[in-house]
Chains A and B, each alone.
Chain A
């Protein structure tokens, strides 16, 4: 069974930095692309970033370009999101999700999400 577990809830000050982690199990991690999707309180889903199976190709939303970076460690079955220069608009639940064998196959399994609160 596929399991995706993001790191715990956190509070960070505006301008601060944070690295989210997602531990994956139940599938061959290095066969699949992975992604981060966020959801601000009471709002819809917003795609953040995607990485292909070996990390050679990454894609990122214009809304976070230059501030966020996605990476993965296939030896540790883990996905990461390095976030910097955080603003209150980055406050959201961040989900990691499993993609497919190619860049765009949708996201068939999702983690439970981790709430990131940017507040002074």
Chain B
């Protein structure tokens, strides 16, 4: 069971803004940058966003943004498009485990 907790599913309609949460603890989200990955069916994950607001991954539309507060983080997707239908994962370093944690993933459906 992942120590980073995400809802298994989320949905929205085209043009809508959706947010995907990721819940952790002081040793991971509370202490380190959180990264978000998008995985389209049958492909490798792609870096989408992170909670360091001073830098955005190159080539990623500004519709995607990451933020965090305390021990939780979230990915916001604005202007939802059909091609955003994918699995989304959060990830953070954990100071207690001395390793990387991934959330269980959230499958986003565009209705």
> Chain A residues in contact with chain B, CB under 8 A?
35, 37, 44-47, 50, 59-62, 95, 97, 103-113
Q: Tell whether, in the assembled complex, residue A44 and residue B35 are in contact, meaning their CB atoms are under 8 Å apart.
A: no
Number of residue pairs A-B, CB distance < 8 angstroms? 60
Residue in A59, A104, A113 whose beta carbon sits within 8 Å of that of B44 in the complex: A113
What is the minimal beta-carbon distance from A2 to any residue of chain B, in angstroms? 11
Q: Tell whether, in the assembled complex, residue B44 and residue A111 are in contact, meaning their CB atoms are under 8 Å apart.
A: yes
- Complex contacts, A109 vs chain B, CB 8 Å: 47
Residue in A45, A50, A103, A108 whose beta carbon sits within 8 Å of that of B57 in the complex: A108
Q: Tell whether, in the assembled complex, residue A47 and residue B45 are in contact, meaning their CB atoms are under 8 Å apart.
A: no
> Chain B residues in contact with chain A, CB under 8 A?
2, 32-33, 35, 37, 39, 44-47, 50, 57, 87, 89, 91, 93, 97-105
Complex CA–CA separation, A104 to B33 (angstroms):
8
Q: Tell whether, in the assembled complex, residue A104 and residue B100 are in contact, meaning their CB atoms are under 8 Å apart.
A: yes
* Nearest 3 interchain pairs by C-beta: A106-B35, A104-B93, A47-B100
Q: Tell whether, in the assembled complex, residue A45 and residue B99 are in contact, meaning their CB atoms are under 8 Å apart.
A: no
Closest Cβ neighbor of B102 among chain A residues: A45
Q: Tell whether, in the assembled complex, residue A45 and residue B33 are in contact, meaning their CB atoms are under 8 Å apart.
A: no
- A59-B98 contact in complex given A45-B105, A95-B44, A111-B44, C-beta closer than 8 Å: yes
Q: Tell whether, in the assembled complex, residue B102 and residue A44 are in contact, meaning their CB atoms are under 8 Å apart.
A: yes
Complex CA–CA separation, A112 to B46 (angstroms):
11
